[in-house]
Amino acid sequence: MLLKKGAEAVVKSVYFDGRPAVLKERTRKNYRITELDEKLRSQRTRTEAKITGEAGRVGIRTAQIYFTDENNFSIYFQPVEGALLKDAFVNSDTGRIAKLSLKWGEAVAKLHSAGIIHGDLTTSNALVLGEEIYVLDFGLAFFSKREEDMAEDINLLRRAVEAVHNEDAKAIWGGFAKGYTENAKSGVIAKAAEVASRGRYSKRNKA
């Protein structure tokens, strides 16, 4: 059963070795030369599997990998039976929003401290199970210790929150920033504000 169709991959509910599983398969891009397309899909599949595994090793709750099939550009994951963070925010009161946001900030701080830049930190790429946050979909992730890359990761998150959770964006951001700053390298939140300010200044100049 199809669960999600994105620009780079399709996600399906399947069985693997007799167990329920989630299959993520990178799809062919017809505009690319076949050899290059296959090389890129294989590399990105391998990188995603490596980073997902590393995230788990540093204490991030995420989907466990059953099997990586580089030849078919696929990863089989153990399903996580939680609610999307996106839906949890919509259906929660102010206190729970603050608590979930704090946990989200703590999780992203752990990622960044391990040198992992997620690349797509939206509330659709995180799950809530009980009181815990699971971070999913490392398809755009990469390794970096650069503060600027961490800052941009956070700015992408903030823009996504403002776009999807307009009414609760201030509360979500406040909880996230608190959880992040208490568990990460100091200065990244300030760097994110600086990077965002540079972007706004550039846009004003172009106008």
* Whether 138 and 119 share a structural domain: yes
* Whether 180 and 139 share a structural domain: yes
* Whether 89 and 66 share a structural domain: no
Question: Which residue out of 37, 69, 87, 120 is catalytically annotated?
Answer: 120
Has 87 been annotated as catalytic? no
* Whether 95 and 62 share a structural domain: no
The CATH number of whichever domain residue 153 belongs to comes to 1.10.510.10
Beta strands in 30-172 (DSSP E): 65-69, 74-77, 83-84, 116-117, 126-129, 132-135, 142-143
Overall average pLDDT of the 40-64 stretch? 95
The CATH number of whichever domain residue 9 belongs to comes to 3.30.200.20
* Whether 97 and 45 share a structural domain: no
Write down which residue in 32, 58, 77 finishes a domain.
77
The count of structural domains within the chain is 2
Note whether 60 and 110 are within 8 A (CB).
Answer: yes
142-191: per-residue pLDDT in tens? 999 999 999 999 999 999 999 999 999 999 999 999 999 999 876 888 88
Range of the domain at 40: 2-77
Write down which residue in 51, 77, 103 finishes a domain.
77
